[in-house]
């Protein structure tokens, strides 16, 4: 079996994390979202892919050879926020704690370092996985190299191999740079050919494969496209080839790479744990890989499975609600047709009594809220049962409109989160579950859709 190396495009990942977790700070107000997201993804990839080696590639502040070729390269990018810039040293400090190598070469980008290491490791018969926050490295995909990235958020990930690239674009990784030469890349301010959009560029690459072949057919009048496309290709040939050079990753950098310096697990566990605690990365502690240097080191803690049950009958609902007396507490969250507290329809209610199991009451034509109203009122009015919710005031208001009152004692996790960290700005249930446990909620659009096809929650099947 081939040894696997994880090569990380660090700048792309830091930026992805920063924009996914804006405003996340420590209790002392230190910006930390980019760092947290970066290590969440690194540790997730390490757990899923089990690489033997890991290396990190970074950009440098200096201009690159691409800027010398085209002075407007990346000129449209806004200057990095101060809150982002100050997090790069923290990321590097934590990488050092894992005792893993960092590569950065003035005049080149992290992509070029990634490409060079990937091709060099392929020659030594490694399996290479590139972890990145964007898709620039898809041009590097081949039989030995894949790209691991996020489709959205942090938990929805995908590995691009040859087949996946072909399915996404209609052509393979070898044609990716030629595609960018035509289409351009607005994020990097690569101009491409004016007037050539995604569809035209894709059609040209599928039919002619390479930029050279496109221009050979253009010059021999065998290019089957409109006169407009022919004209813009002809007028912008130099720009097309310049764009190709800008998009092409340099895989032949002069760098020294010793695989023995990149072994994952060759670190001081206590040092990593202390730094994670300093930065309040409580949810990441259990994800730290096993340290191969320490004898008898226990395996990393595996997260337990959470069971979620759909309840759709009155009989099952009463059985679940009866558990409240046994446990002495009940956790609940109402799902409504709208956020307005005035006359909302209760679409469903979630309940839990432990961290391992939950229940969702999905109301429909066959199971209506009125069928459980009496039992729910009995439980929520019981002063021997602790009621726990997030933003309890809202849920109480919703229930009150349906004739149900909630009696003390209460515990509101929204209020608790504020009391623990009053300087923070992120107290939503989504944010807290992500920061405390690394759980990411499925986007509501997955359930109700988007735009003109968006449904009401009351129209969903559950």
For strands 346-352 and 357-362, give the pairing: antiparallel
d(CA 399, CA 208): 63
Tally of CA atoms within 13 A in the half-sphere of 124 that contains its CB: 13
Relative orientation angle of helices 10-20 and 110-123, to the nearest 10 degrees: 130
Residues 31-35 have a mean pLDDT of 94
In which band, very low, low, confident or very high, does the pLDDT at 295 lie, cut at 50, 70 and 90?
very low
Alpha-carbon distance values, 378 to 83, 391, 428 (Å): 50, 21, 29
Give 371's DSSP letter: G
Q: What is the DSSP string of 203-262?
A: HHHHHH-SHHHHHHHHHTT---S-HHHHHHHHHTHHHHHHHHHHHSPP--------GGGG
For residue range 166-211, list pLDDT tens digits in order: 999 999 999 999 999 999 999 999 999 999 999 999 999 999 999 9
Per-residue burial over 216-248, b = 16 or more CB atoms within 10 Å of its CB, e = otherwise: ebbeeeebebeeebeebbeebbebbebbbebbb
* Percentage of the chain modeled with pLDDT above 90: 71
What domain range includes position 360? 307-459
The region of weakest confidence among 81-90, 113-122, 275-284, 322-331 is: 275-284
218 and 69 share one domain: yes
d(CA 325, CA 370): 21
pLDDT, residue 452, reads 67
In which band, very low, low, confident or very high, does the pLDDT at 292 lie, cut at 50, 70 and 90?
low
* Domain total in the chain: 2
Final residue of a structural domain among 247, 269, 299: 299
293 and 333 share one domain: no
Is-contact 291 269, C-beta < 8 A?
yes
321 and 288 share one domain: no
Q: Is 292 or 375 the better-scoring residue by pLDDT? A: 375
For residue range 105-118, list pLDDT tens digits in order: 999 999 999 999 99
Q: Is 446 or 145 the better-scoring residue by pLDDT? A: 145
Residue 368 belongs to domain with CATH number: 3.30.420.10
pLDDT, residue 345, reads 86
295 and 313 share one domain: no
Per-residue burial over 403-416, b = 16 or more CB atoms within 10 Å of its CB, e = otherwise: ebebeeeeebbbee
Residues 437-454 have a mean pLDDT of 66
Output Rg (C-alpha) for the chain, integer angstroms: 27
pLDDT, residue 236, reads 97
The two structure tokens encoding residue 352 = 């839990």
The residues that bridge with 157 in the sheet, in sequence order, are 150
Is-contact 462 362, C-beta < 8 A?
yes
Final residue of a structural domain among 282, 299, 316: 299
Residues 143-148 have a mean pLDDT of 96
For residue range 387-416, list pLDDT tens digits in order: 999 999 999 999 999 999 999 999 999 999
294 and 348 share one domain: no
15 and 70 share one domain: yes
Residues 377-382 have a mean pLDDT of 96
* Percentage of the chain modeled with pLDDT above 70: 89
Give 51's DSSP letter: -
In which band, very low, low, confident or very high, does the pLDDT at 339 lie, cut at 50, 70 and 90?
low
- Residues 6 or more apart whose Cβ sits within 8 Å of residue 263: 52, 53, 292
In which band, very low, low, confident or very high, does the pLDDT at 55 lie, cut at 50, 70 and 90?
very high
Average per-residue pLDDT for the chain: 89
294 and 313 share one domain: no
The residues that bridge with 54 in the sheet, in sequence order, are 6
Final residue of a structural domain among 279, 299, 319: 299
134 and 283 share one domain: yes
pLDDT, residue 461, reads 59
Give 47's DSSP letter: H
For residue range 86-107, list pLDDT tens digits in order: 999 999 999 999 999 999 999 9
pLDDT, residue 340, reads 62
d(CA 266, CA 340): 54
Q: Is 388 or 283 the better-scoring residue by pLDDT? A: 388
Q: Is 122 or 449 the better-scoring residue by pLDDT? A: 122
pLDDT, residue 9, reads 97
311 and 281 share one domain: no
358 and 258 share one domain: no
Alpha-carbon distance values, 324 to 252, 354, 399, 407, 409 (Å): 65, 11, 18, 14, 13
Residue with tokens 């566990």: 269
Residue 50 belongs to domain with CATH number: 3.40.50.1010
228 and 338 share one domain: no
The two structure tokens encoding residue 435 = 């920061």
d(CA 317, CA 304): 25
d(CA 8, CA 148): 9
Q: Is 408 or 342 the better-scoring residue by pLDDT? A: 408
In the sheet where 53-57 sits, what is the strand order? Answer: 102-103, 53-57, 4-9, 127-131, 145-152, 156-160
Is-contact 32 26, C-beta < 8 A?
yes
286 and 314 share one domain: no
Which helix (H) or strand (E) is 447 found in, with range?
helix 445-448
d(CA 191, CA 217): 22
């Amino acid at each position: 079996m081939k040894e696997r190396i994880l090569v990380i495009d660090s700048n792309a990942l830091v930026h992805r994390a920063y924009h996914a977790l804006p405003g996340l700070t420590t209790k002392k107000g230190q910006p930390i979202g980019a760092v947290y997201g970066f290590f969440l993804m690194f540790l997730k990839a390490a757990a899923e892919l089990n690489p033997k080696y890991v290396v990190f590639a970074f950009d440098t502040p200096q201009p690159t050879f691409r800027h010398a070729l085209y002075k407007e390269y990346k000129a449209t990018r806004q200057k990095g926020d101060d809150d982002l810039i100050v997090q790069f040293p923290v990321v590097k400090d934590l990488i050092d704690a894992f005792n893993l190598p960092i590569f950065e070469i003035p005049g080149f980008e992290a992509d070029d370092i990634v490409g060079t290491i990937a091709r060099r490791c392929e020659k030594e018969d490694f399996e290479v996985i590139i972890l990145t926050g964007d898709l620039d490295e898809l041009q590097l995909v081949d039989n030995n190299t894949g790209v691991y990235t996020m489709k959205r958020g942090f938990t929805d990930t995908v590995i691009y191999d040859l087949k996946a690239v072909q399915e996404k674009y209609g052509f393979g990784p070898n044609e990716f740079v030629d595609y960018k030469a035509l289409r351009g890349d607005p994020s990097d301010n690569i101009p491409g050919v004016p007037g050539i959009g995604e569809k035209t560029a894709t059609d040209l690459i599928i039919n002619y494969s390479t930029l050279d072949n496109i221009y050979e057919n253009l010059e021999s009048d065998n290019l089957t496209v409109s006169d407009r496309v022919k004209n813009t290709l002809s007028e912008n040939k130099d720009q097309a080839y310049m764009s190709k050079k800008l998009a092409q990753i340099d895989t032949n950098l002069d760098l020294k790479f010793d695989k023995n310096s990149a072994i994952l697990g060759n670190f001081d566990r206590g040092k990593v744990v202390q730094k994670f605690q300093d930065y309040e990365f409580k949810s990441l502690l259990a994800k730290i890989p096993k340290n191969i240097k320490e004898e008898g080191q226990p395996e990393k803690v595996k997260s337990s499975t959470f069971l979620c049950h759909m309840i759709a009958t009155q009989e099952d609902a009463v059985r679940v609600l009866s558990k409240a007396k046994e446990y002495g507490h009940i956790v609940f969250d109402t799902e409504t047709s709208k956020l307005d507290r005035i006359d909302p329809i209760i679409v469903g209610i979630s309940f839990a009594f432990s961290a391992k199991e939950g229940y969702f009451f999905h109301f429909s034509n066959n199971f209506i809220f009125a069928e459980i109203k009496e039992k729910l009122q009995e439980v929520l009015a019981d002063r021997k049962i602790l009621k726990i919710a997030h933003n309890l005031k809202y849920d109480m208001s919703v229930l009150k409109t349906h004739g149900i009152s909630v009696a003390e004692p209460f515990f509101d996790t929204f209020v608790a989160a504020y009391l623990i960290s009053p300087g923070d700005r992120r107290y939503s249930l989504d944010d807290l579950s992500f920061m405390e446990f690394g759980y990411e909620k499925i986007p509501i659009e997955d359930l109700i859709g988007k735009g003109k096809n968006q449904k009401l929650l009351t129209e969903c099947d559950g």
